[in-house]
Chains A and B, each alone.
Chain A
Amino acid sequence: MMARLVRAAQDPIGPLAPTRITLTVDGEPVEGVLGQTLAGVMLSADTVAWRSTSFRDKPRGAFCGIGVCFDCLVVVNGQRDVRACQRRAAPGDVVEFHRDMPLSTPEERP
């Protein structure tokens, strides 16, 4: 496990018991903690990529973590283009990955 949630027992801040929630991420049930963002839930499960780029079909996930870069876009409950690092996870959220059909690369354009 590489990206992960800090284990409560080892966390110097002494977290109190969290409220568990369940989401559907890319068709699979994923457990999260109430108060996490969608990016937080996915990174806690070591999911680091949740979007394919439009031109080169490359994997992307969180980059700036503060809502500036728009790399972490997901589809939430049918709504496209939501920054996963800015949206708090709600119980039952259905998160789908942005997978655009590869178009031409800028290099291939006339």
Chain B
Amino acid sequence: MTEVLVIGSGPAGLAAACAARALGRRVVLLDASDYVGGQYWRHLPPERPARREAVLHHGWSRFQAMSQALERDPLCEIVTSAHVWAIDAGRVHVMVGEADGAGREARTYAAAAVVFATGAFDRALPIPGWDLPGVFTAGGAQALAKGERVAVGQRVVVAGSGPFLLPVASSLVQAGSTVVGVYEASHLAHLARQWTARPWQLLATPAKLLELAHYASVHVKNRIPYATGRAVTAIHGGQRVESVTISAIDETWRPIPGGDVVVAADAVCLGHGFTPRVELPIAAGCRLDARRFVQVDEHQRTSVAAFYAAGEITGIGGVDLSLSEGTIAGHMAAGGHLEDRALRDARARRDALRSFAERLERAHRIGENWTDWLSDETIVCRCEEVSVGRLRSVAETSRSSGLRSLKLQSRAGLGACQGRMCGRSVETILAAAAPGGHLIDESTTDRRPIATPIRLAELAFGNDKSVEK
């Protein structure tokens, strides 16, 4: 019997697995990748050893301690290349094997408790030309730098919003790229207002401030230009990126006329915040909060009994918050108590870091007039190649305010990525074009009953031998 099933092996998942093992529970830890660590500790595979890989990472010794303890532990089964594709009636359905392979091993887990630690991915807002080769999400460029030692370009522009742009620029520099500039959409005055409000709260999070100071020093040392109130509003090129337009934008992210500069670049990295990977919690019936993260209580419990959540799916807050939440979630999933001594530290850190996370969210939220940089021809849904003009005309001619019907008519969000890349942008554009200026149905693009594409043959000729137990 699996007592605690942890889905996702980034910082939150590893911490949850360790905490559950500390209470003696049998743990199964699943990850879709072929190595543990998640995006934060994405690293080179053992076939590519290096003397000093730690220089690419923060908290590398913590990662090694956790992952090695779990790997040595006979009561923790780590299953990598584990693609969770559905959850129904509390059962977790998994295909184990190569990514997008065929004839993989089907497994079903029915655990006493489940911890979701599925993390988040970068949100990139649609921009004219963002579908050109050479445009990457900021996290994608960093993953290629850390996990592949690939530099995505020689002259790279980093743009979007949030402190995560700084470590991305650092990773690019460490891979030998020239970072043309980091363009933060939020205005300095706005950032300063958010960051200097209630300064005593910041004193509770010294590690976060040191991490930020470290990235700032990398910027100064490498003379990386950093500008605020600026956005990449167009990307140009024939077969790949050749240049970008950088615009001055107002506090609502509307481009200011006359504020454009065109700079040469061969790669662009975009990161306008993050989208949490909530399809599995939704499939399990867990409620989301008003910000569309998984709603959890003090115990990291979701709204469904025996399902817990930790890390970026409960709110974007960085590695230390994820570790604290993971520790609490794993401990509680294993039958511990909130008042236990083992949680004292994690609870104090979580509470301090949550206020830090809320501060980040206020400081770097997406400005409502970003859609002003779109043209009718701009592709929104990359998979189905649905343009802004097409979306707006479907909304206007159908007079529909229902997301589902508008999606079916326009095909936006119905492609291979299942609306992960464009979903929230599609909702914004459709809502603005719909009668009354909003969508009426409760449905969102986050709902994906099949959480990852699988081949029909694997379903039809399923070899599920492991209905547990």
Q: Which residues of A contact B (CB under 8 A)?
A: 1-7, 10-16, 18-19, 33-37, 39-40, 43-44, 48-49, 53-56, 58-71, 73, 79, 81-83, 85-88, 105-107
Chain A residues, CB < 8 A from B55: 12-13
Docked-complex contact A4 and B133, CB < 8 angstroms: no
Within 8 A of A (CB), among B33-70: 33-34, 39, 42, 44-53, 55-56
Chain B 12-45 interface 0/1 with A at a Cβ cutoff of 8 Å (1 = within): 0000000000000000000011100001001011
Chain A residues, CB < 8 A from B390: 106-107
Q: What's the least CB distance linking A90 to chain B, in Å? A: 10
Chain A residues, CB < 8 A from B421: 63-64, 68-69
Of A2, A7, A40, most buried by chain B (CB within 10 Å of CB) is: A2
Docked-complex contact B122 and A13, CB < 8 angstroms: no
B288 within 8 A of A: no
Q: What's the least CB distance linking A101 to chain B, in Å? A: 14
CA of A18 to CA of B179, assembled, Å: 28
Taking A35-B48, A64-B139 as contacts, is the C-beta distance between A11 and B133 under 8 angstroms?
no
B387 within 8 A of A: yes
Taking A2-B154, A43-B150, A66-B121 as contacts, is the C-beta distance between A53 and B385 under 8 angstroms?
yes
Docked-complex contact A60 and B131, CB < 8 angstroms: yes
Docked-complex contact A15 and B122, CB < 8 angstroms: no
Say which residue of B133, B174, B415 sits within 8 Å of A70 (CB atoms). Answer: B415
Of B50, B134, B140, B390, most buried by chain A (CB within 10 Å of CB) is: B140
B319 within 8 A of A: no
Q: What's the least CB distance linking A76 to chain B, in Å? A: 9
B323 within 8 A of A: no
B152 within 8 A of A: yes
Docked-complex contact A2 and B133, CB < 8 angstroms: no
Q: What's the least CB distance linking B15 to chain A, in Å? A: 21
Taking A10-B176, A49-B133 as contacts, is the C-beta distance between A65 and B144 under 8 angstroms?
yes
Docked-complex contact A106 and B385, CB < 8 angstroms: yes
Segment at the A interface, from B97-105, B310-318, B331-339:
B97-105
Chain A residues, CB < 8 A from B415: 70
Chain B residues, CB < 8 A from A4: 150-151
Within 8 A of A (CB), among B173-196: 174-176
Chain B residues, CB < 8 A from A35: 44-48
Taking A5-B150, A73-B416 as contacts, is the C-beta distance between A60 and B133 under 8 angstroms?
yes
Residue on B nearest A86 in the bound complex, by CB = B99
CA of A3 to CA of B148, assembled, Å: 12
Q: What's the least CB distance linking B423 to chain A, in Å? A: 11
B136 within 8 A of A: yes
Q: What's the least CB distance linking A71 to chain B, in Å? A: 6
B240 within 8 A of A: yes
Docked-complex contact B385 and A56, CB < 8 angstroms: yes
Chain B residues, CB < 8 A from A12: 52, 55, 174
Docked-complex contact B149 and A11, CB < 8 angstroms: yes
Docked-complex contact B150 and A68, CB < 8 angstroms: no
Docked-complex contact B240 and A48, CB < 8 angstroms: yes
- Chosen A-B contacts, 29 in total, with CB atoms closer than 8 Å, are A3-B151, A3-B152, A4-B150, A4-B151, A5-B149, A6-B150, A6-B151, A6-B176, A12-B55, A13-B52, A15-B48, A19-B47, A34-B47, A35-B46, A37-B148, A40-B144, A43-B148, A44-B150, A63-B140, A64-B122, A64-B421, A65-B137, A65-B139, A66-B140, A70-B415, A71-B382, A79-B100, A87-B99, A106-B386
Chain B residues, CB < 8 A from A66: 39, 42, 121, 139-140, 143
Residue on B nearest A13 in the bound complex, by CB = B50
Docked-complex contact B50 and A16, CB < 8 angstroms: yes
Chain B 289-324 interface 0/1 with A at a Cβ cutoff of 8 Å (1 = within): 000000000000000000000000000000000000
Q: What's the least CB distance linking A4 to chain B, in Å? A: 6
Chain B residues, CB < 8 A from A68: 121, 417, 420-421
Taking A13-B55, A16-B49 as contacts, is the C-beta distance between A2 and B150 under 8 angstroms?
no
Taking A13-B52, A13-B53 as contacts, is the C-beta distance between A65 and B387 under 8 angstroms?
no
Chain B residues, CB < 8 A from A88: 34, 45
CA of A62 to CA of B235, assembled, Å: 16
Chain B 215-239 interface 0/1 with A at a Cβ cutoff of 8 Å (1 = within): 0000000000000000000000001
Docked-complex contact A81 and B100, CB < 8 angstroms: yes
Q: What's the least CB distance linking B126 to chain A, in Å? A: 12
Q: What's the least CB distance linking A26 to chain B, in Å? A: 14
Taking A10-B176, A69-B421, A70-B416 as contacts, is the C-beta distance between A64 and B382 under 8 angstroms?
no
Q: What's the least CB distance linking A23 to chain B, in Å? A: 15
Q: What's the least CB distance linking A51 to chain B, in Å? A: 9
Q: What's the least CB distance linking A34 to chain B, in Å? A: 4
